[in-house]
Amino acid sequence: MTGFESPNTTITSYYNWSPDPVSSTSTDPVDFPFIPMLWGCNSTYFAPFEAALNASFAGANLTGQREVLGFNEPEQAEQSDCTPQQAADAWMTYLEPLRSQGYRLGSPAVTTGSTGNTWLLDWYAACNGGCNPDFLALHWYDMSYDNLVNTLDSFHTTFNLPIWITEMAVQNFTTVNSSTTAYGAQATYSEIVDIMNATMAYMDAQDWVERYFWFGAMYDMQGVNPLDSLFLSSGESRRTGGLNELGVMYAGSNGTLATARWAGTSGASRRTGRVTGLLWTVLALMIMLDVTK
């Protein structure tokens, strides 16, 4: 996606909730380092992950510290839905051994509410010292700058690890309209811009926030406020991947229309640009792009 690969881009790597990287060809290159993920805690996910690992993740260019991500929202029934004990067993079998092979591991990616915090504490207890992530992976969806600051400070104080926010957006997932069962009022575009600017400035100032990923670089926002999208709505029918003003602000890019599935160059900034759910004309890809220091 050339909208994310201008000389000013701050995007440096990507993940796609999978152990398999996006295919790269001479005419459609994949230029960003790949971050593999073991998404779930059962055999549906173990075999593909082991196969990808044994194949060196299809020869993909990994991040410099060879980071690998753990389970996706294990405390959520509609996501990987793992008990702390299931996740502990899976981690010690499939992920913990990777540390001795030179990989750096991200914790199970919980949401940042009290449920996620409790699940993570219970997971550590179930591991009984056998799970040693190198950084925390967290998902933040809220409409308050203060909420992000207080939440990240709390997780950092509790677990004393560097943090990656592997999903984030200005989104009301907490207040529900009782008459319609739909989520209540969402942020306006100007509110999203203000919160994006404030939260990025805060995270950039914290040495212990290593990466963050915005949701999303997609046209179908999957239930998240469409105003959080980084793409021009006018490009949806042709899946151009052109960036809107929010996308340009976030990625430090120039908004050039895409001429390939996606592409990018590494940058010196720490911003973690996320291309989550990048939907193209031929392939329905879901990838997250990040930016680091």
Q: How many Cβ atoms sit within 10 Å of the Cβ of residue 104?
A: 17
Q: What is the pLDDT of residue 28?
A: 56
Label residue 9 by pLDDT band (50, 70, 90): confident
pLDDT beyond 70 at 180: no
Which of 90-94, 167-171, 232-236 is predicted with the least confidence, judged by mean pLDDT? 232-236
Mean pLDDT, the chain, whole residue set: 83
pLDDT band at 253 (very low <50, low <70, confident <90, very high): low
Q: Give the confidence band of 150 by pLDDT, cuts at 50, 70, 90.
A: very high
Structure pTM? 0.84
Look at residue 258 and tell me whether its pLDDT is greater than 60: no
Mean pLDDT to the nearest integer, 133-141: 97
Rounded average pLDDT over 45-58? 97
Q: What is the mean pLDDT of residues 107-127?
A: 96
pLDDT tens track for 207-246: 999 999 888 877 888 889 999 988 888 777 676 777 888 9
pLDDT of 191 > 80? The answer is: yes
Query: Which residues, other chains included, contact 56 with Cβ-Cβ below 8 Å and sequence gap of 6+?
Result: none
pLDDT of residue 11: 78
Identify the weakest region by mean pLDDT among 37-51, 97-111, 229-243. Answer: 229-243
pLDDT confidence bin for 291, thresholds 50/70/90: low
